[in-house]
Structure 1
Amino acid sequence: MPGYLTRNEHVSIGGRDWRLRVLQDRQQFSDPDGHAGRMGISSAQWSLFGQLWPAGRLLAQAMQRFDIEGKRVLELGCGIGLASLVLQQRGADVVASDMHPLAESFLAYNAALNALPALHYRQLRWDVPLPTLGHFDLIIASDVLYEAEHAALLAGVIDRHAWPEAEVLLTDPGRGNSARFSRMMAERGFALAEERCPMDDGEAPPYRGRLLHYTRSGAGSA
């Protein structure tokens, strides 16, 4: 027995019904060998990867219409992998990544559940360089700035893995750490276009969510 409970959830993205295995609730926890704990994932954080969050749906919706032609894409903190699955279905060159020890198995299961081939997945800790991961034209993530230190860690990942002419797209439910991250991105030559978006989680105000789209030209970039 895995030590945790799951359920199937349905969500519509771009007119297609997606089936997803998610954790039954946010109280699930199972770390019998202490792997997650050694990676710094607390019992309170353990279940977060296995939920379908509003920001994750928003990112998947954005990826349904985003121009992906000729772009290598990296999703950071993919969790159950909805945005990467949408990209896989569209034929994108996408790599999904997360630090949670169960993310890979959930992603593989959800790909099979939607009749898709297995996705390319890499376990990635933002504080540990992974040179073999390579470089990307587009880096995406949803609701990853929920801790103050995440802004600098995320900027470091982008330093290591974004091509000089690159795009970064984040969905953010109004967390205060995004302002610090945007300043760091500006220091790296990225311009920001922000779009306010409804988040269907039943919370006010209705436009709490945002799409943060950072672009950088190659001229003068590190």
Structure 2
Amino acid sequence: MPGYRIKYSTLSIGAEDFHLCSLRDKQQFADHDGLAERAGISSATWSLFGQLWPSGEVLAQTMSRFPTEGLRILELGCGLGLSSLVLQRLGADITASDHHPLAGEFLLRNATLNELQPIDYQDCDWAEAYLELGLFDLIIGSDLLYERDHPGLLAGFIDRHSKPVAEVLIVDPGRGNSARFSREMLSHGYQQQADLLNDLDDPQAPFRGRILSYQRAA
């Protein structure tokens, strides 16, 4: 990937090992083609998609034991795609999405690293609707609520792309926007359920966030 320094790591998720290509650090930025400018992403936040965050690992661990048979699943803000990789290996019907111009490229590389078929991918701006994307039974994501306008945008996007009966799981590290998001979800008919248990067992770096769970019934 011209202009970037990358690294490789191996993680144990459930009973499987996954190999992951990521950006070496948060200082990686190259925009020779003007992708950052066109996407409205600053140089300070450009590299964040390419890091493995604790909330992303929590989501992947959660998906490794989640019953997914018969569900059409969408991951929002997939970044490096770890949770989508886990679901692809489990044989789930998974579509990954992100709005970062490099996310699809990293997702494909990581699928290849893990000897998986390419994962369906959609570039998604939450302010838009994508008719070709369709509707989903389960929508997942991690660390998505880091801007003040994200609760409304995210809830609206979920509503446009979820089936009448659907479930949503969001791993939130606690950036202060989860209460607003829950209110927005309620306005779309989603009831908040008890938080799921955190399945990331790392006493050296405990995850102090929440796994937010929402359900909408017919």
TM-score, length-scaled by structure 2: 0.94
Query: Which position in structure 1 is the counterpart of 2:156?
Result: 156
Aligned residues: 216
What CA distance in whole angstroms lies between the structure 1 residues aligned with 2:37 and 2:156?
23
Given that 1:54 and 1:199 are in contact with CA atoms closer than 8 Å, whether structure 2 keeps it comes out as no
Query: Which position in structure 2 is the counterpart of 1:195?
Result: 196
Query: Which position in structure 2 is the counterpart of 1:180?
Result: 180
Query: Which position in structure 1 is the counterpart of 2:132?
Result: 132
Q: What does the per-residue CA deviation read over 1:31-85, in whole Å, with 9 as the maximum and x for residues that have no partner?
A: 1121222111110110011011000000001111111111100000000000000
Which secondary structure does the structure 2 equivalent of 1:101 belong to?
Answer: coil
Aligned pairs for 1:207-222 (under 5 A) are: 208-218=208-218
Given that 1:54 and 1:201 are in contact with CA atoms closer than 8 Å, whether structure 2 keeps it comes out as no
What CA distance in whole angstroms lies between the structure 2 residues aligned with 1:22 and 1:202?
22
Please provide the CA RMSD for this pair.
Answer: 1.6
Which secondary structure does the structure 2 equivalent of 1:132 belong to?
Answer: coil
Using a 3 Å threshold, how does the CA distance of structure 1 residues 45 and 160 change in structure 2: closer, same or farther? same
Q: Is residue 116 from structure 1 mapped to residue 113 from structure 2 by the alignment?
A: no
Runs of 5+ consecutive residues of structure 1 not aligned to the other structure: none
Using a 3 Å threshold, how does the CA distance of structure 1 residues 174 and 201 change in structure 2: closer, same or farther? farther
How far did residue 137 of structure 1 move? Answer: 0.3
What CA distance in whole angstroms lies between the structure 2 residues aligned with 1:207 and 1:18?
20
What CA distance in whole angstroms lies between the structure 1 residues aligned with 2:201 and 2:77?
19
What CA distance in whole angstroms lies between the structure 1 residues aligned with 2:203 and 2:171?
14
Q: What does the per-residue CA deviation read over 1:104-143, in whole Å, with 9 as the maximum and x for residues that have no partner?
A: 1100110110111110111111122211111000000000
Percent identity between the two aligned chains: 57
Given that 2:39 and 2:101 are in contact with CA atoms closer than 8 Å, whether structure 1 keeps it comes out as no
Q: What does the per-residue CA deviation read over 1:15-37, in whole Å, with 9 as the maximum and x for residues that have no partner?
A: 21111000000010011121222
What CA distance in whole angstroms lies between the structure 2 residues aligned with 1:147 and 1:104?
23
Q: Is residue 33 from structure 1 mapped to residue 48 from structure 2 by the alignment?
A: no
Aligned pairs for 1:88-127 (under 5 A) are: 88-127=88-127
Given that 1:170 and 1:213 are in contact with CA atoms closer than 8 Å, whether structure 2 keeps it comes out as yes
What CA distance in whole angstroms lies between the structure 1 residues aligned with 2:201 and 2:40?
29
Using a 3 Å threshold, how does the CA distance of structure 1 residues 201 and 80 change in structure 2: closer, same or farther? farther
Runs of 5+ consecutive residues of structure 2 not aligned to the other structure: none
| Residue range with higher mean Cα deviation, 5-14 or 188-197 | 188-197
Query: Which position in structure 1 is the counterpart of 2:74?
Result: 74
What CA distance in whole angstroms lies between the structure 2 residues aligned with 1:31 and 1:50?
15
Q: What does the per-residue CA deviation read over 1:130-183, in whole Å, with 9 as the maximum and x for residues that have no partner?
A: 111110000000001011111111011112101010000000111210110011
In structure 1, give the amino acid aligned to 2:196.
E
Given that 2:73 and 2:94 are in contact with CA atoms closer than 8 Å, whether structure 1 keeps it comes out as yes
Which secondary structure does the structure 1 equivalent of 2:94 belong to?
Answer: strand
Query: Which position in structure 2 is the counterpart of 1:42?
Result: 42
How far did residue 196 of structure 1 move? Answer: 5.6
Which secondary structure does the structure 1 equivalent of 2:128 belong to?
Answer: coil
